[in-house]
Amino acid sequence: MSQPGDFDAVRKDIIAVLKQPKYDDGSAGPVLVRLAWHASGTYCKETDTGGSNGAGMRYEAEGGDPANAGLQHARVFLEPIKEKHSWITYADLWTLAGVVAIQAMGGPEIQWKPGRTDFVDDSLLPPRGRLPDAAQAADHLRHIFYRMGFNDQEIVALSGAHNLGRCHADRSGFEGPWVNSPTRFSNQYYKLLLKLQWKPKKWDGNFQYAAKAPGADDDDEELMMLPTDYALIQDDKFRPWVQKYAEDRDLFFSDFAKVFAKLIELGVYRDETGIARADKMKKVPSEY
């Protein structure tokens, strides 16, 4: 137990939980980043519903959404931290874990503000279907991310999180890592998007792109790109940002820090005490 509000103590325990020798590439970091993103990425600016406030993934309607498959691992990694620092809300813990993981994996420092509260029931959950579908293309990315209030540059910057982690056939139906060092935050994703010869992967699973890493041996794991990743170099407005971020790591780091901070604040409005009451959130209109 720590003093309520001692976020530094929580940050330390998040760092301690990152190393997971038996899990994936040895780190819980990537899946924690995905948890923070999926908690936030349900936001709709038109109805002002969804977002990280409330921690709706604790309920089956959101947590059991196939789009969130695998994120139970992230929530389980964080459970001992919630038990130890019981004063922190899940909504704060999940977003804080994302920013702490990014920095610990060599990424930028990202501004994070506390104050989110947790839903007490499942009456305010966003509907399923708000998270992106990796099988689709640029128009779908715009449809999903404009709904949250992001522009084309921000879509490309956010996608750079695919420098981290991997796809799991049993979670999403896709398979493999995007880069050689999936637990190290970098701009390698953009470089590889532009540099490698991406070909449709020959397998029975979902359509995805595959390429050999530069200098890889025959038994080295292939790298991958989702159709939505590949869309970033096919689209005339996205592609220049891929090129900029491939050439300029510092620009990517600073734009990523801004856009991730914006993502985890979507729909989080605090009162004068600094608390964002989840029970004051709007109900999703029935036509949505």
Q: How many residues bind ligand HEM (CB under 6 A)?
A: 24
Beta-bridge partners for 44: 49
Catalytic residue among 37, 94, 178, 241: 178
**Judged by CB, which is closer to ligand HEM: 79, or 279?**
79
Tell me which of 34, 75, 116, 201 binds ligand HEM, using CB under 6 A.
Answer: 34
Residue 173: phi and psi, rounded to 5, are 90, -5
Torsion of CA 91, 16, 262, 234, to 10 degrees: -120
Per-residue string for binding with ligand HEM, 103-142, x by CB under 6 A?
-----------------------------x-x------x-
Q: Where do we find the tokens 């989080």?
A: 268
Write the burial class of residue 199 (CB in 10 Å: 0-12 exposed, 13-18 middle, 19+ buried).
exposed
* Sheet containing 223-225, strands listed edge to edge, beginning at the edge strand earlier in sequence: 199-200, 209-211, 223-225
Contact positions with ligand HEM (CB under 6 A) in 146-175 = 158-159, 161-162, 164-168, 171-172, 174
Instruction: Decide if 255 contacts 153 (C-beta within 8 A).
Output: yes
Which residues, 6+ apart, have CB-to-CB distance to 36 below 8 Å?
52, 94, 95, 97, 98, 99, 263, 264
Which range binds ligand HEM by CB under 6 A, 15-23, 30-38, 88-96, 187-195? 30-38
Chain residues 255-284 in contact with ligand HEM, contact rule CB under 6 A: 260
Active site (annotated) includes residue 87:
no
Please list the active-site residues.
38, 178
The contact set with ligand HEM (CB under 6 A) reads 30-31, 33-34, 37, 70, 132, 134, 141, 158-159, 161-162, 164-168, 171-172, 174, 226, 228, 260
